[in-house]
Amino acid sequence: MPTLPHWQHFPHQADMGVRGHGETQAQAFEQAALAMTAVVTDPAGIEPREVIEIHCEAPETEILLYDFLNALVYEMAVGKRLFSRFEVRIEGEKLSATAWGEPVDVARHQPAVEVKGATFTQLQVARQPDGQWMAQCVLDI
Protein backbone atom coordinates (compact mmCIF):
# COMPACT_ATOMS: atom_id res chain seq x y z
CA MET A 1 0.00 0.00 0.00
CA PRO A 2 1.56 3.34 -1.05
CA THR A 3 2.34 5.90 1.60
CA LEU A 4 0.69 9.30 1.28
CA PRO A 5 3.02 12.25 0.64
CA HIS A 6 4.21 13.62 3.96
CA TRP A 7 6.97 15.60 5.63
CA GLN A 8 8.98 15.28 8.80
CA HIS A 9 11.71 17.00 10.81
CA PHE A 10 14.87 15.33 12.01
CA PRO A 11 17.26 16.73 14.62
CA HIS A 12 20.68 18.04 13.67
CA GLN A 13 22.73 19.74 16.40
CA ALA A 14 21.65 23.43 16.51
CA ASP A 15 19.97 23.32 13.09
CA MET A 16 16.92 21.43 11.78
CA GLY A 17 16.60 18.76 9.13
CA VAL A 18 13.61 18.63 6.81
CA ARG A 19 12.52 15.64 4.81
CA GLY A 20 9.75 15.29 2.26
CA HIS A 21 8.24 12.03 0.99
CA GLY A 22 6.07 11.49 -2.06
CA GLU A 23 5.21 9.25 -4.97
CA THR A 24 7.27 11.51 -7.25
CA GLN A 25 10.33 13.71 -6.88
CA ALA A 26 8.04 16.73 -7.26
CA GLN A 27 5.82 15.59 -4.37
CA ALA A 28 8.88 14.98 -2.19
CA PHE A 29 10.10 18.53 -2.97
CA GLU A 30 6.64 19.94 -2.11
CA GLN A 31 6.66 18.11 1.22
CA ALA A 32 10.22 19.26 2.01
CA ALA A 33 9.06 22.85 1.42
CA LEU A 34 6.07 22.27 3.70
CA ALA A 35 8.41 20.85 6.36
CA MET A 36 10.52 24.01 6.05
CA THR A 37 7.41 26.16 6.65
CA ALA A 38 6.56 24.01 9.67
CA VAL A 39 9.92 24.89 11.23
CA VAL A 40 8.69 28.50 11.35
CA THR A 41 4.97 28.06 12.09
CA ASP A 42 2.02 25.71 11.65
CA PRO A 43 1.30 25.63 7.89
CA ALA A 44 -2.40 25.10 8.62
CA GLY A 45 -2.59 28.70 9.88
CA ILE A 46 -1.31 30.21 6.61
CA GLU A 47 -3.94 31.29 4.14
CA PRO A 48 -3.12 30.76 0.43
CA ARG A 49 -3.96 34.37 -0.59
CA GLU A 50 -0.89 35.22 -2.68
CA VAL A 51 0.87 33.25 -5.39
CA ILE A 52 4.51 33.35 -6.40
CA GLU A 53 6.36 31.46 -9.11
CA ILE A 54 9.83 30.01 -8.66
CA HIS A 55 12.14 28.74 -11.40
CA CYS A 56 15.43 26.92 -10.84
CA GLU A 57 17.86 25.02 -12.99
CA ALA A 58 20.65 22.73 -11.80
CA PRO A 59 22.62 19.80 -13.20
CA GLU A 60 21.87 17.55 -10.20
CA THR A 61 18.58 16.80 -8.46
CA GLU A 62 20.07 17.49 -5.03
CA ILE A 63 21.22 20.95 -6.13
CA LEU A 64 17.75 21.55 -7.57
CA LEU A 65 16.26 20.88 -4.10
CA TYR A 66 18.88 23.16 -2.49
CA ASP A 67 18.13 25.96 -4.97
CA PHE A 68 14.35 25.53 -4.64
CA LEU A 69 14.37 25.72 -0.84
CA ASN A 70 16.72 28.71 -0.88
CA ALA A 71 14.50 30.50 -3.41
CA LEU A 72 11.63 30.01 -0.94
CA VAL A 73 13.80 31.29 1.94
CA TYR A 74 14.54 34.39 -0.15
CA GLU A 75 10.81 34.96 -0.80
CA MET A 76 10.04 34.46 2.89
CA ALA A 77 12.74 36.92 4.00
CA VAL A 78 12.45 39.65 1.38
CA GLY A 79 8.69 39.42 0.85
CA LYS A 80 7.98 38.78 4.54
CA ARG A 81 5.72 35.89 3.51
CA LEU A 82 4.92 32.40 4.64
CA PHE A 83 3.72 29.60 2.35
CA SER A 84 1.35 26.72 3.01
CA ARG A 85 0.89 25.08 -0.38
CA PHE A 86 3.32 24.15 -3.12
CA GLU A 87 3.06 22.70 -6.61
CA VAL A 88 6.36 21.60 -8.11
CA ARG A 89 7.10 20.53 -11.68
CA ILE A 90 10.46 18.98 -12.55
CA GLU A 91 11.58 18.41 -16.12
CA GLY A 92 15.15 17.22 -16.36
CA GLU A 93 17.39 19.93 -14.91
CA LYS A 94 14.56 22.50 -14.62
CA LEU A 95 12.16 23.11 -11.77
CA SER A 96 9.18 25.41 -11.83
CA ALA A 97 6.99 25.81 -8.79
CA THR A 98 3.99 27.70 -7.56
CA ALA A 99 3.77 28.63 -3.88
CA TRP A 100 0.66 29.96 -2.15
CA GLY A 101 0.80 31.94 1.06
CA GLU A 102 0.36 35.29 2.72
CA PRO A 103 2.30 38.06 4.47
CA VAL A 104 3.55 37.20 7.94
CA ASP A 105 1.17 38.23 10.70
CA VAL A 106 3.33 37.94 13.82
CA ALA A 107 0.36 37.82 16.21
CA ARG A 108 -1.42 35.11 14.26
CA HIS A 109 1.49 33.05 12.87
CA GLN A 110 3.77 33.39 15.91
CA PRO A 111 6.93 32.51 13.94
CA ALA A 112 9.29 30.41 16.07
CA VAL A 113 12.53 30.90 14.13
CA GLU A 114 13.86 32.44 10.95
CA VAL A 115 15.23 30.02 8.38
CA LYS A 116 18.52 31.42 7.05
CA GLY A 117 18.88 28.86 4.28
CA ALA A 118 19.09 25.30 3.07
CA THR A 119 22.52 23.70 3.38
CA PHE A 120 24.42 20.90 1.67
CA THR A 121 24.42 18.97 4.95
CA GLN A 122 22.64 15.63 4.50
CA LEU A 123 21.33 16.90 1.15
CA GLN A 124 19.76 13.93 -0.59
CA VAL A 125 17.06 13.12 -3.13
CA ALA A 126 16.54 9.39 -3.61
CA ARG A 127 14.01 6.76 -4.48
CA GLN A 128 13.35 4.54 -1.47
CA PRO A 129 13.04 0.72 -1.51
CA ASP A 130 9.22 1.06 -1.38
CA GLY A 131 9.26 3.16 -4.58
CA GLN A 132 8.53 6.44 -2.80
CA TRP A 133 10.81 9.47 -3.23
CA MET A 134 12.56 11.25 -0.36
CA ALA A 135 14.08 14.75 -0.47
CA GLN A 136 15.96 16.11 2.52
CA CYS A 137 18.52 18.60 3.80
CA VAL A 138 19.48 20.47 6.94
CA LEU A 139 18.32 24.06 7.33
CA ASP A 140 20.45 26.77 8.88
CA ILE A 141 18.22 28.43 11.48
- Tens of pLDDT along the chain (141 residues) come to 667 788 877 666 668 899 999 999 999 999 999 999 999 999 999 999 999 999 999 999 999 999 999 999 999 999 999 999 999 999 999 999 999 999 999 999 999 899 999 999 999 999 999 999 999 999 998
Decide if 60 is inside a domain. yes
Q: Is residue 139 part of a domain?
A: no
| Rg (the chain; Cα; Å) | 14
Domain with 92 in it: what CATH number? 3.55.10.10
Residue 66 located in a structural domain:
yes
Q: Residue 105: what residue type?
A: D
Burial of residue 58, with CB atoms counted within 10 A of its CB: 0-12 exposed, 13-18 middle, 19 or more buried? middle
Letter for the amino acid at 80? K
Does 8 fall in a domain? Answer: no
Number of domains the chain is built from: 1
Task: Report yes or no on 75 lying in a domain.
Answer: yes
> What span, in angstroms and rounded, lies between the C-alpha atoms of 124 and 76?
23
Q: How far apart are the C-alpha atoms of 125 and 28, rounded to whole Å?
A: 8
Type of residue numbered 1: M
Which structural domain, as residue segments, surrounds residue 89? 23-132
